[in-house]
Structure 1
Amino acid sequence: MSELNIPPAKTPLLVVVGLIGIAAGLWALVSWTLEDKFWGFIVTLVVTALSTRAWTQEVPEFNGMTILNKPAGTQRALFQGRTGKLPWEQAGTLVDLRSELKEILQETWSTKQGTSMDAKYVYILHPRATEKDVLAYASFTQDTVKTAARNLFTVMLSDHFGICEEPENLLKKTEVNKAVFESPDGEKRIKAFQDKYGVEAHASLEDVDYDEETQKARDIVSKATSIDDAINKLIASGMNRPDAEKIVRMLNVPGVQEFIISVDAKGLENLHDVTMLGGLGKVGKK
């Protein structure tokens, strides 16, 4: 969390003018009633001193507060300290500027190649200390803000997982975080979220790996001596042949390669693509 830079308590000029006008009107009324300006002034001072709650509002340390002007239907925000307010303005929502909304989420996403990956990411939100942001933050419940954050960051990460060409690159958390959250598009989406909800937002991919079933398949395939051997081992583990062939093709396992040869020969009009699967060890010299 960055250092709090809370604005000082400050009474807007229009409120100051309004309070002076009210005090002047009260002095004139009392002076007229008592037929004495001096005693009218003294009585006005006493009444003003005894009614500070009506024309001031105290905000606790490290907090912001919304305040509603009911007749005008407008809102503004106050910060720590005592601030002047009009008698008909009412205190609204108190916002602790030190508060933190945080979630650690476990997700499973599919890659472009069809593999499934288990991921853990965290996001942290803090309300920002400006009048605009306090008003924005106070207009939503915390559950609403957290749901919106969860939706945003989950979509951003899952979209990246779905377009990444190499599943192995998704295991590089630092690179994924930069690609998702520090790209121009990512920063734009996060800024829009921050401005809407009045928060400072940070998200980070903390852990990622293939899901349990894919891990098991990788372990089996990595011990195979050829692709045929890998397929047979997967079938022996209970997988059907089409799924076994698919798993072997989409897993980027050292020592195993797939060659796809397009065949266009006379008399083979109905044969378009032939997939040749085979194990590849070290290539010997001819």
Structure 2
Amino acid sequence: MFSSSWRHLHIRQYNGTSLQAIYRFDIAAKVPIHGEISYVELANLCGIYEPDLRRILRFAMSFYHAFTESRKGYVSHTSVSRAIVEKAGVKDALGVMFDECWQSYAHGYSLAHNTSQNFYEYLGSHPERSKRFAGAMQAFGEGPDISPDFLVDNFPWHVLGSGTVVDLGGSNGSVSMAVSKAYPALRFVVQDRPPVIEAALKGTLPADLVGKIEFMPHDFFTEQHVAADLYLIRYIFHNWPDAYAMKILRQLIPVMKPGARILVHDHLLPEPNTATSTTEREAR
């Protein structure tokens, strides 16, 4: 229940961002009032990376009924999105919301903490906060859909035998511990930023896992040096744009041996109109 409530808080926190993009890039004005336009053509008109445009509009569709995907890959207006074009006051309201009010939210973290660092940099320079964040992520991950138990039960770990698993961005090692308890023959290397690893090493590793789990400082944007049988990338990619996700993967190539695997456990978006409205909103 706690994990579910937290996710709904995130939904409320972020659900205005699609409208901000729609206003800033004047997307509604570029969609025919009567007709349709492809995502590819619309992205070119707006100067937006096409996968990002799809994410923006599909989010707005599920939350605000703004725009509709009349057929796969094509966008049309609804009465809501058409009002942005035809009623000046509606567009003005978006402008006030995002040019006047939203800025305080967008810059709030840095101002509140009197820092020019981004969120992860700030955590890295404050070990106690970093430790608290790791604990929070462990608690948030206890929901049935993202629990480590799901990962333990739904991947054939036995095929790795007594192999080595590198847990990239593995924080305090809670996921590796869960898998190790079920598959004790495996060896785990938990990698994360130095402050996170320092905090993890101050914790107590269960006696039955000593010697089976190693903690190692590593930046996953730099070349990997551990030759493993499997590289686990759990709930990492959803925090990074595609180019950075690809960079993370490329760092593994030089050290990967024949037969090595990459296991990604992360969010997947349903195709539009294939899930309930509640599921669609939460996913997007």
Using the size of structure 2 for normalisation, the TM-score is: 0.24
Higher-Rg member (1/2): 1
TM-score by length of 1: 0.24
Instruction: Identify the structure with the greater strand proportion.
Output: 1
Structure (1 or 2) with the greater helix fraction: 2
